[in-house]
Structure 1
Amino acid sequence: MSALVLRDLALAFRSGGGFGLALAFFLIVTVLVPFGIGPESGRLALVAPGILWMGALLSCLLSLDRLFALDREDGTLELLATAPVPLEGVAAAKALAHWLTTGLPLTLAAPALGILLNLPAAGYWPIFVSLLIGTPALSLIGTFGAALTVGLKRGGLLLSLLVLPLYIPTLIFGAEVARRGAEGLAAGAALLLLGAITAGCLALAPLAAAAALRINMR
């Protein structure tokens, strides 16, 4: 599995479709928001946690359609299906590589970009922790969606429509952790629920993605 992760990391950095694109989109969203809602610092501080979480969520969507599509086009997916590593392990490796190239950089960049949105100083740590715990769920759910649409041409739009409703619980509790932390309130319950969502995705998403891949390769 480590070889699969390293391979996907190399492909992502070589093609520029993961790390750089997601960060650039995240930056653009953060910069444009003050122009859209006005420069008033109090208003920006109020919406900053939600905007940062929404920007991270949309940035994670950008490279999902590439998770399995390229492997299917060049025949690598069929080879992986017959490899000693089960398809569940392949799906988990894909999700890990996607998180390392998108979720982790976005998590590290979010506190710095929060300055542009006048995020209170008390909110830097909560937004970092919430993204650190919540973004793996985004990658795992996205891997399942990519496996469902791998056999479709131009399935990027359909992938977004399938995945976005599944992202809603993670978005709600992740933004709630960041918001309550920025306001100095206790966020333990929301953080536990966010962790439970990620743990559930970790247990179920690779199994569901592997089942979808088997169906699409028949």
Structure 2
Amino acid sequence: MYDGLRVKFPELFKDERCPPFPAGAIFGLYNVTFIDTRRVAFEKLFQYIVSQKELKCSDKLSQFLEYSNLLKALSRQADQASQVPRHANPGAPRTSVHSDGSLDATLSFQEAILLIKSLRKERENEHAAFAEIRRLAELDFENEVQARVEESSPVCKICWLKSVEVTLVPCGHTVMCEKCATDCPGHRCPFCNVEFTQSLKVFF
């Protein structure tokens, strides 16, 4: 059982640079070179089909056109077509181009269902891959933020273990943790050798 669709092309499709595109190539069944060289016509054809609400076609084919979201899968289908042997396929959708620029395309319902399932699986895989990429990106961002915070936090120049916690008065050096300031010999700043009278707690 085949469902038929006849599309009357508007003038924009009668351009030698964008000749009508056989629907058989849509499914990657033959003529790889034709697919690669007519990509623009391919996209324009489906944009036109999907946008025309007054087209007379079967319910099954209408449902297929609305559900399959082919516009987002054009590149993938063309790439997959390059892996298919170039020979006539008895099960290929049948097409014919008329002198007036119109196109007859027939598509079996079973082929439409298989293509829909394939596209749905590809979208699911893409969504899963995107979610994983986003998770890794967020994790990398968090790690980068943490690393920058650690780099920006001044470290005690005496023990090199704790963060700087105090400022020495009167010299004003802020280079030590509280413990190292308390244990500093003679209460002298290790950098300027000025005796400090107190150490003030600081926060960064």
TM-score by length of 2: 0.30
Considering Cα pairs closer than 8 Å and 6+ residues apart, tell me whether 1 or 2 has the greater RCO: 1
Greater helix proportion: 1
TM-score (norm 1): 0.29
Structure showing the higher strand proportion among its residues? 2
Structure number with larger C-alpha Rg = 2
